[in-house]
Structure 1
Amino acid sequence: MLNNILSIIWIALIICIFYFWKKKPNKRYMWASIIGVIVLTFLIGSLPQNKQFNKTNDVETAASSNFTSGSNNSASSSKQSHSSSKAKKESSSKPKRNRIQIMILKHRAKGLELGTSKSTVEKKLGKPDQDNGQMLLYDDFNLYFEKGKLVGGDLPAIQKKVDKKVAKEKEQRKEEQSRLTGYAQAFGRKPVDTIQSMPSVYTSDHVEDNMVYTWHPDDSPMLVRVDSPNNFTTVYKYDKNGEHHALGTTLYQGRTIYQKQSNNNGYDY
Structure 2
Amino acid sequence: MTAIINTVFLISFIAFLYFIGRGTLKFLTNKDTKHSFKYGLLSLLVSLVFMVIGIIFDPSIKSSSESNNYNSVNSNSTTSKESTDSMSQSHSSKSSSSKKYDFSKVRLGMTKSQVIAIMGKPTEQDTTYLMYGSDDLDFQDDKLFDGSPRNIKEAATKKEKNEAKESSRKRVNESELKSFAKIFGQKDVETLQKYVGSAYSSIETSQGMAYGWKTDYGMLYRLDDSSTGITHVYKDGLGDSGTQLYVGQTIKQKQRRNYYYYN
TM-score by length of 2: 0.43
Structure with greater helix percent: 2
TM-score by length of 1: 0.42
Structure label with greater radius of gyration? 2
